[in-house]
Each structure stands twice: as structure tokens, then as C-alpha cells.
Amino acid sequence: MGSNSEENKESVSSYKLLWQSLPANFRRFIIVVFIVLLCSAALSVFYFRDAVGELKFMSQQIDKNLSGEQVNK
């Protein structure tokens, strides 16, 4: 068990060293991209139900229009 804990500490420290070795501008860019991805994921979850309802409504309208055209022919 002790060696497993030591391996985790080593991997964390290697990630820390890798992160610190990156240029500041690149680190800032990675943080901004991560925040944008989190926000877009949150918004997509929040608006998912509305989007599904809108797609169903559009599908029903298309079906009505297509069935109306077939009756007129």
C-alpha cells in the first residue's frame, strides 16, 4: 500500500513540474479553454430540455407540411 501512495505522489509531482514548465501564456490559455468548456457543458445541460422540445415541434411542423402537400397532390 505504501508504494502505491508513493507512486501517486510521484505522478502528481510530475504533473506539477510539467504544469510549471509551461509558459504563462499557454497556462492561461489552457485555463480559459477549460472554463469555456465547463460553461458550455453547463449551458447544454441547462438548455437540453428546451432544445429537445424545439426539435420535436419543428419535426411535427415538417410532418404536417409534408402530409398537407401529399393530400394536395
Q: What is the pTM of this model?
A: 0.51
- pLDDT value, residue 29: 95
Q: What is the pLDDT along the chain (73 residues), one digit of tens a residue?
A: 455 666 777 777 888 888 889 899 999 999 999 999 999 998 888 888 888 889 999 999 998 888 876 655 5
What pLDDT is recorded for position 45? 83
Kindly give, in sequence order, each residue whose CB lies less than 8 Å from that of residue 30, ignoring residues fewer than 6 positions away: 22
| pLDDT in the model for residue 73 | 52
Is residue 27 a contact partner of residue 35, using CB atoms and an 8 Å limit?
no
SS3 26: helix
Residues in contact with 27: Cβ distance below 8 Å, sequence separation at least 6, in sequence order: 19
The C-alpha atoms of residue 47 and residue 39 are separated, in whole angstroms, by 12
Give the domain ranges of the chain: 2-72
